[in-house]
Amino acid sequence: MATRSEGDEEVCREVYARISGFFQSFRQQTVQIELLPFYPVPPTHIFVESTSLGIPKSSLWKAFRHARPLFFSTLSALSSSPTIPSTNILLTLLNTSTILLLHDSEHLTAINARKRVLITLFPPGTPFPIGNRGQELPISPQGEYFFLTSLLTSPLHRHTKSPHLWNHRRWLISTYPSLKHPIPPPPPGGTAPPSRPGTADNSALAKSFRRWCRKEVSTVLRAAEAHPKNYYAWTYARWIVSSQGVPFNHEDLVSWCMKHPGDVSGWNFLAWLWTSEALSSQGEPGERRLGVRYNQLFSVLKYSHNTAPGHEALWGFVRAVVGGGVFDEGYRRCILELLRGWDGEVSVRAVEDVVREKMLLRETVRGLEGGRGDSEMVDLPG
């Protein structure tokens, strides 16, 4: 078996240092990462422009060859040492795990090592530095949050749909709930006045939480854009809605789904959102809510009828919301009459999508007339 020369080792070490140095420099920011195809470049070359990083796959492979043995030797030394690890050891573990995760988004050992470092430095329930505070530390919960956002929103095909990365993000927010309202603590020696309802303190917390909600929604939508039918991104979206109280703008979500009419995971999430709202009787009061949802559904049906016919995911959404209790009997009759009228139209476009549209429309009408309807759409990991 061929052994690597000292020159090869030096090249691998240098490209590893350049990539890990980039992430350490921007550990308090979201960055854009792209893996570039194999083509002739200098052995240690990476492309850096502001907060954007382009890594040729050949360079990433060289960095991985150096990082993998270093990661496991550091992890082994950390496990056998009874003392608190030094900052240099933790930094090595973080840098090597970063390379491993860039190379393999499902590297669970690397994810667990990062959790271990976080819990060692920041036990759950203790305050942690926000923003520019704590820059001397190799990692912080907020820095890990930015790192995950970078992986999940960059054009990295496997990372945007990685169940382990989405679960790591869920763990991070559950373990460090202060991430939802990252307001810097008072300076050392300063005291924060007790917050009372209606004070500026609570107003700042509310604004900070709204900003965090917008970032979460943006992360989900960008990941869903990068990888269509992103089951894991939309499953995470259900969690932040039901567990963390993150609101989605229904009008924007309907618009997003109409731009991606074949995305079954997006339609499934929208159907779940509408059904949950109807069951909990939250949102706009009664008749107003129904009127808003009917208008949104009508725009979806019109879009399918006139512009993008033949998408089974869209019609699955229609069956789910009409048959799943979102609308009362009066609105159901209006929707059925509309669909029957469209079924009776003679189309001059004898193309496959229009024929398929007719079949899906008739199947929906038969199901709703028979009192059936898909109370839950089928959505499998893709």
- List, for residues 303-317, the tens digit of each pLDDT value: 998 888 889 999 999
Spatial distance between the Cα atoms of 91 and 381, rounded to a whole number of angstroms = 35
Mean pLDDT, rounded, for 38-62: 88
What pLDDT was estimated at residue 3?
Answer: 54
Compute the average pLDDT of residues 103-127: 92
Instruction: Check the CA dihedral 69-72-76-78 and report its sign.
Output: positive
Q: Supply the Cα-derived Rg of the chain in whole angstroms.
A: 25
User: Does the reported pTM lie above 0.85?
Assistant: yes
Per-residue model confidence as pLDDT tens digits over 198-222: 445 578 888 999 999 999 999 999 9
Residue 169 Cα to chain centre, angstroms: 9
Residue 196 has pLDDT above 90, yes or no: no
User: Helix, strand, or coil here: 211?
Assistant: helix
CA-CA distance, 175 to 179, in Å (whole number)? 9
Residues 271, 272, 276, 282: what is their CA dihedral angle, to the nearest 10 degrees?
-60
**Closest CA relative to residue 364, chosen from 305, 304, 322:** 322
CA–CA dist 160, 295 (Å, integer): 33
Q: What is the pLDDT of residue 192?
A: 45
- State the DSSP code for 283: S
Average pLDDT over residues 54-77: 94
Cβ atoms of 227 and 157 within 8 Å: the answer is yes
Residue 283: is its pLDDT beyond 60?
Answer: no
Do 205 and 181 form a contact (C-beta atoms < 8 A)? yes
DSSP string computed for 95-107: HHHHHHHHH-TT-
CA 312 to chain centre: 24
At 225-254, the pLDDT tens digits run 999 999 999 999 999 999 999 999 999 999
**Spatial strand order in the sheet of 52-56:** 32-36, 52-56, 47-49
Higher pLDDT, residue 69 or 40: 69
pLDDT-based confidence at residue 2 (cuts at 50, 70, 90): very low
pLDDT at 238: 97
On the question of pLDDT at 288 being above 90, the answer is no
Rounded Cα distance between 270 and 28, Å, is: 33
Share of the chain above pLDDT 90, in %: 62
Question: For 126, which DSSP code?
Answer: S
Q: Report the pLDDT value the prediction gives residue 199, as an integer from 0 to 100.
A: 46
Instruction: Give the integer Cα–Cα distance in Å for 309 and 356.
Output: 8
**Which burial class, exposed, middle or buried, applies to 270 when counting CB atoms under 10 A from its CB (0-12, 13-18, 19+)?**
buried
**100 pLDDT tier (thresholds 50, 70, 90):** very high
